[in-house]
Amino acid sequence: MLGYALSRATAAIPTLFLLVTLAFFLIRLAPGGPFDNERQLSPAIEANLQQRYHLDEPLLQQYGRYLWGIARGDFGPSFQYPDLTVTQLIAAGFPVSFTLGGCAMTLALIVGVLLGAIAAINQNGIVDYGVMTVAMLGISMPSFVLAPLLILWLAVYLGWLPAGGLESWRHFVLPVITLAAAQIAFIARLTRGSLIEVLSAQFIRTARAKGLPMHVIFLRHAAPAALAPVVSYLGPATAGIITGSVVIETIFGIPGLGRHFVNGALNRDYTLVLGVVLFYGLLVIVLNLVVDLLYAWLDPRVKY
Amino acid sequence: MRRFAIALATVATLFLNGCDPEWQTVNQPEITVAGETVLRKGNGAEPQTLDPHRAQGVPEANILRDLYEGLISENPDGTLAPGAATRWEISADGRIYTFYLRKYARWSNGAPLTAEDFVYSLRRGVDPATGSSYAAILSPILHAAAIIEGEVKPESLGVQAIDSHELKITLKSPTRYFLGLLTHTTTYPVYRPSVERFGAAFTQPGNNVSNGAYTLDEWVVASHVTLRRNPRYWDDASTRIDIVKFYGIDDQEAELRRYRAGELDLTSTVPLGQLEWVREHLRDEYRAAPYLGTYYYGLNLTRSPFKNNRALRKALSLAIDRGILVEKVTRGGELAAYGWVPPGIANYSGQALAYAEWSRSRQIKLARRLYRMAGYSRARPLRLEIRYNTSDAHETIAVVIASQWREVLGVHTTLVNEEWKVFLQNVQRRRVTQVYRAAWIGDYNDAYTFAELLHSRFGLNGTGYANPRYDRLLSQAAGEGDQQQRRTLLQQAERVLLADHALIPLYFYVNKRLLKPYIKGYRDNVMDHHYTKNLRIEVPTRTGARRD
């Protein structure tokens, strides 16, 4: 397994290289530049800025300079935030996004699996239909609708929780619930479908025939097999939840990475966008690798 | 089962590690200490820099006004007041200003604030190496323009420290608004040892040294900036609020929700879609006051159909019912604009288009006649594109104007929504742009800040307007020392501009915000400058504890 992990890690290098290369040249194709603003700069000032950020060099030279920089762990200065470097921005934003995404995914996993299991055990009963209806609602309701509704009820009307910002654990509750809602629905449906299939499998029938109690059959034999699809879903879902929480970050005023990504692109902050793309790329690769390793651990038929 | 349990535990641990509250101690803002009063301001967008010489937006300026103090400050009503300088003298020819600095003014680290600090800072502001977007605002100072263009060294700037507390500034020509200009952040002093030691990072908490009523305590990017009162500020005894937090909230609806939840004491604005609700439910907390800004439609005068076609430009302007725009669309108390310079500007009274007072039917009649004169008709309609940057409000206004043009003249208008940078580039290149939405907010309280936008050599003149008579009037006004004469020249220039229909003014801005009733000392002013040192909170429960 260690060999597999190492080979995957090695294969990630060309992937990341390709990602950086594509991102570097694609963002330069976007019209407008970082210094286009309502206030036009004098040619001397603009020339100075171009020089400071090496934008006066040929594009290939800039590309080489950038690669050399990231090889040394230097993502360069931000154009949008001239007082800060991209590394500082990522270092400040990632823990926030990771905490938010991590908590949301944990909540989604626990609640989703539980609901899915309840639905599967009561297949085609009232409970099943009830759970699945709620799950469908969770999938259907976009976060930009759910978030303001939750804020209105729980923060504005009832005053139980803060409406935005990130200054204590209480500030996490609403964004985590909002982010988790859609994931709970997905995981519940996945678990239900998978569990129903597994419960009708031959090895479960054998276990029953041997006279094993239902809870043992369920926990020891059915659950691990049924959760394999859920685990494989977790990798991309977690990456997605960490990287794609820009709507939540904007609505709740959370200083995560997602807003830097979007605002960086809108402001033509080349270095910030590239830094975040590279970082996200790395995150997706790592999370997928973790999930693949977990999958092999869970399912004895999978060998690397 | 064991494997499953371990796997689940691994996943949970991986995720829950993220929930570890330890990092929060790093990012968590200062919780109010007993006895300290906190003001929480909604501040619009996230500040991009806290370097007073590089800052360019309103959110940055709001914070910098509390952090730093220039030679001149402002009273709550926006009138000028002594700042770092206690008094000043102006030479008979209006070109030499001598400022006498406060003897006991200190930087937040205790170092004395001297005339040399201002010399260093003003030179830094115009030095092309600083990369200041606002450097041009210092152009009235002798040699500033040449320094900005990179022709001479920053040391040649007409600023001189006579001694540690006496500063002489020599201007290129008499500039009536120069004292008002000195309230702008680009003229603020920065602490040289800190800039030289930390470079761009001198703005970071721990590195930053300031001379205003507050010091920088914390900056959580994309969340908030916290300032704490500066005990070394010369007038600290009058400061009432101990901590001020500026929350960068891009989403106006989110800002309103946080205000309603009691997490903000004042907002930066009120979202257009919520105005009715706010007026009905938060009437006592809603403030709307005139603001130095004009919303207009720019016309590309360098290409067809507007090049050399004054009749068409006038017809389009006449066809717009500005009354409907402000009463049914913007609805915040904005004023219909028939002139270029907004009301409320100091020592000036704005000019208006001749048809401002006409009845609507008379305006329409003339519009149709001019449209025909320009060679268009219902059978041969004009086809136009209106470009605007992404925003619901801009889109709504464009829809209304397009429908009015269609109804009155039969113009076929296409709406083109562009991302901000694309929009700016298209406006500046003047290739594809025909009509574009724009706004101009005064940088200082003087009509010149509006007049110069249309000068043929002004970099932001997106219309391409170039009238030698207009330029000449502006040059004369810039060099005119007599206030009355200068006002007359600027008014003449405005009339020329309006008669040429170089742009279509639509409405004059108002500043809309929500303000909790316990905030005292707040006064509306056209610049919308509100120094925290002038505010106080009069509610016993707000002292000593946070209320969330």
pLDDT tens figures, B372-424 = 999 999 899 999 999 999 888 899 999 999 999 999 999 999 999 998 888 98
B139 to each of A41, A120, B53, B57, how far by Cα in Å?
Answer: 13, 75, 14, 19
CB-based contacts of A152-160 (< 8 A; 24+ apart in sequence): A152/B257, A155/B257, A155/B261, A156/B257, A156/B260, A156/B261, A159/B261, A159/B262
Within the 313-372 window of chain B, which residues sit less than 8 Å (CB to CB) from chain A?
none
* pLDDT for the residue numbered B287: 93
B45 touching A, CB under 8 A?
A: no
ipTM comes to 0.86
Question: Closest chain A residue to B1 measured between Cα atoms?
Answer: A220
A293 neighbors A51 (Cβ within 8 angstroms): no
Q: Could you tell me if B7 and B69 lie in one domain?
A: no
Contact (CB<8Å) A164/B258: yes
Q: Could you tell me if B195 and B310 lie in one domain?
A: no
B525 located within any domain = no
Which of B23-37, B83-97, B515-529 is least confident? B23-37
Highest mean pLDDT among A112-121, B134-143, B210-219, B266-275: B210-219
Within the 249-288 window of chain A, which residues sit less than 8 Å (CB to CB) from chain B?
249-256, 259-260, 263, 266-268
Q: Could you tell me if B7 and B47 lie in one domain?
A: no
B413 located within any domain = yes
Alpha-carbon distance of B168 to A297, in angstroms, equals 77
* pLDDT for the residue numbered B545: 41
A39 neighbors B133 (Cβ within 8 angstroms): yes
- The band of B493, judged by pLDDT with boundaries at 50, 70 and 90, is very high
From the list A30, A92, A250, the residue facing B251 with the nearest CB is: A250
Q: Could you tell me if B366 and B464 lie in one domain?
A: yes
A166 touching B, CB under 8 A?
A: yes
Instruction: Tell me the pLDDT tens digit for each residue of B93-151.
Output: 999 999 999 999 999 999 999 999 999 999 999 999 998 888 988 999 999 999 998 89
Give the closest residue to A172 by CA, choosing from A233, A255, A234, A238.
A255
B26 located within any domain = no
* pLDDT for the residue numbered A244: 62
Indicate the residue among B228, B246, B274 that finishes a domain: B228
* pLDDT for the residue numbered B540: 54
B236 located within any domain = no
Instruction: Tell me the pLDDT tens digit for each residue of A11-55.
Output: 888 999 999 999 999 999 888 888 887 777 778 888 888 888 888
Residues of chain B with C-beta less than 8 angstroms from the C-beta of A41 = 131, 133, 459
* pLDDT for the residue numbered B136: 87
B273 located within any domain = no
Q: How many domains does chain B have?
A: 2
* pLDDT for the residue numbered B260: 94
Q: Which residue range forms the structural domain that includes residue B327?
A: 2-14+291-510
pTM score over 0.90: no
Contact (CB<8Å) B18/A96: no
Alpha-carbon distance of B230 to B214, in angstroms, equals 5
Contact (CB<8Å) A52/B419: no
* pLDDT for the residue numbered B544: 43
Q: Which two tokens stand for residue B413?
A: 């208008």
Give the closest residue to B269 by CA, choosing from B282, B287, B283.
B287
Indicate the residue among B173, B193, B228 that finishes a domain: B228
- Kindly report the CATH number assigned to the domain that includes residue B81: 3.90.76.10
The average pLDDT across B162-177 equals 93
Instruction: Tell me the pLDDT tens digit for each residue of B316-337.
Output: 999 999 999 999 999 888 999 9
Instruction: Quote the mean pLDDT of chain B.
Output: 89
Question: Closest chain A residue to B10 measured between Cα atoms?
Answer: A294
Alpha-carbon distance of B303 to B312, in angstroms, equals 13
DSSP, collapsed to helix, strand or coil, labels residue B347 as coil
Q: Kindly report the three-state secondary structure assignment for every residue of chain A.
A: CHHHHHHHHHHHHHHHHHHHHHHHHHHHHCCCCCCCCCCCCCHHHHHHHHHHCCCCCCHHHHHHHHHHHHHCCCCCECCCCCCCEHHHHHHHHHHHHHHHHHHHHHHHHHHHHHHHHHHHHCCCCHHHHHHHHHHHHHHHCCHHHHHHHHHHHHHHHCCCCCCCCCCCCHHHHHHHHHHHHHHHHHHHHHHHHHHHHHHCCHHHHHHHHCCCCHHHHHHHHHHHHHHHHHHHHHHHHHHHHHHCCHHHHHHHCCCCHHHHHHHHHHCCCHHHHHHHHHHHHHHHHHHHHHHHHHHHHHCCCCCC
Q: Could you tell me if B297 and B366 lie in one domain?
A: yes
Question: Is residue B23 scored above 50 in pLDDT?
Answer: no
Of the residues A42, A111, A301, the best mutation for testing chain B's interface (the one with the most B CB atoms within 10 Å of its CB) is: A42
Residues of chain B with C-beta less than 8 angstroms from the C-beta of A231 = 7, 11
Q: Which alpha helices (H) appear in B420-540, and where do they start and end?
A: 420-429, 448-451, 468-478, 483-500
B230 neighbors B110 (Cβ within 8 angstroms): no
B282 located within any domain = no
Indicate the residue among B208, B228, B248 that finishes a domain: B228
Give Cα B89 to chain centroid, integer Å: 29
Q: Which two tokens stand for residue A262?
A: 């979007």
Residues of chain B with C-beta less than 8 angstroms from the C-beta of A42 = 128, 135-136, 148-150, 459
- Tell me: cis bond preceding B305? Omega within 30 of 0 counts: yes
Q: Could you tell me if B8 and B43 lie in one domain?
A: no
From the list B18, B148, B200, the residue facing A98 with the nearest CB is: B18
Q: Could you tell me if B304 and B384 lie in one domain?
A: yes
- Closest CA of chain A from B440, distance in Å: 9
Q: Could you tell me if B334 and B218 lie in one domain?
A: no
* pLDDT for the residue numbered A19: 93
From the list B49, B56, B222, the residue facing A39 with the nearest CB is: B56
* pLDDT for the residue numbered A63: 94
Eight-state DSSP code of residue B515 = B
* pLDDT for the residue numbered A213: 86
Question: Is residue A297 scored above 80 in pLDDT?
Answer: no
B372 to each of B181, B379, B382, B384, B396, how far by Cα in Å?
Answer: 46, 11, 10, 16, 28
Eight-state DSSP code of residue B330 = I
Taking one residue from A and the other from B, the number of pairs with CB-CB distance under 8 angstroms is: 211
* pLDDT for the residue numbered A267: 87
B115 neighbors B101 (Cβ within 8 angstroms): yes
Residues of chain A with C-beta less than 8 angstroms from the C-beta of B425 = 31-33, 36
Alpha-carbon distance of B7 to A194, in angstroms, equals 18
Strand partners for B294: B440, B508
DSSP, collapsed to helix, strand or coil, labels residue B288 as strand
- Kindly report the CATH number assigned to the domain that includes residue B318: 3.10.105.10
Phi, psi of B297 (to 5 degrees): -110, 120
Element (H, E) at B179: helix B178-181
* pLDDT for the residue numbered B319: 97
Question: Is residue B2 scored above 80 in pLDDT?
Answer: no
Instruction: Tell me the pLDDT tens digit for each residue of A247-280.
Output: 888 889 888 888 888 888 888 999 999 999 998 8
* pLDDT for the residue numbered A304: 66
Alpha-carbon distance of A193 to A119, in angstroms, equals 9
Q: Could you tell me if B319 and B176 lie in one domain?
A: no
* pLDDT for the residue numbered A80: 87
Q: Could you tell me if B194 and B70 lie in one domain?
A: yes
Residues of chain A with C-beta less than 8 angstroms from the C-beta of B250 = 250
Residues of chain A with C-beta less than 8 angstroms from the C-beta of B131 = 41, 45, 48-49, 52, 82
- Percentage of residues in chain B with pLDDT exceeding 70? 92
> Does A297 or B428 have the greater pLDDT score?
B428
Question: Closest chain A residue to B7 measured between Cα atoms?
Answer: A294
B93 located within any domain = yes
Alpha-carbon distance of A281 to A289, in angstroms, equals 12
Contact (CB<8Å) B263/A162: yes
Q: Could you tell me if B419 and B473 lie in one domain?
A: yes
Q: Could you tell me if B495 and B349 lie in one domain?
A: yes
B83 located within any domain = yes
Instruction: Tell me the pLDDT tens digit for each residue of A110-166.
Output: 999 999 999 988 888 898 898 888 888 888 888 889 999 999 999 999 989 999 988
Question: Is residue B82 scored above 50 in pLDDT?
Answer: yes
Q: Which two tokens stand for residue B138?
A: 């210092």
Within 8 A by CB and 6+ apart from B36, the residues are B242, B243, B543, B544
* pLDDT for the residue numbered B12: 43
Residues of chain A with C-beta less than 8 angstroms from the C-beta of B10 = 294
